[in-house]
Amino acid sequence: MTNEAALDGHPDLHKEAHPNCVVCGPKNESGLRLEFDALEDGSVQTHFGCDGKYEGFPGVLHGGVISSLLDGAMTNCLFAHGHTGITGELRVRFRYPVATGRTSRIRAWIEMSAPPFYALKAELIQDQQVKAKATGKFMEQADFQLSASVKTVGSNSRSSRP
């Protein structure tokens, strides 16, 4: 297990790699537009207000939003280290309900680095309690532009799928 401490990443890599990301993309007007801070220990973190418009059950943040936040944190951790990666596996453990209307802190770090593969962990903390945590496996994308064959699949055409 390694946690790369030196953050030599490109500060605007996330803006270039996926500007329309629903979690951190600055060009996505409907997105969350979260900004992640790199910490001295090699991890990244951000804060999220858990607005009620993202609830699942009344007063509880939707699990899909929680998963997106954790995945986005891990991706931004890779960016902070100068890597672009595609999520290959995401496992989320929902430990306690995340309340809407209360700020949470999302943090991610590299658990294992064996380029082009990376294993990361992330957690969502609210009221000083880990409410959800995730592990993710990522594969580095040296060229973050997706090939034309995977950029667009016919919107309603099932025949274009393998």
- 40-86 pLDDT, tens digit each: 999 999 999 999 999 999 999 999 999 999 999 999 999 999 999 99
Low-confidence residues in the chain, pLDDT < 70: 1-15, 17, 142-162
Give the residue among 86, 118, 128 at the shortest CA–CA distance from 1: 118
Asked whether residue 158 is domain-assigned, the answer is: no
Q: Containing domain of residue 64, as a range? A: 13-143
**Domain assignment present for 149:** no
Looking at residue 81, which CATH number applies to its domain? Answer: 3.10.129.10
Q: Is the pTM of this model over 0.85?
A: no
2 in any annotated domain:
no
Q: Give CA–CA dist 100/57, Å, rounded.
A: 10
Q: Is residue 157 part of a domain?
A: no
Give the whole-angstrom CA distance, residue 160 versus residue 162.
Answer: 7
When divided into structural domains, the chain yields a total of 1
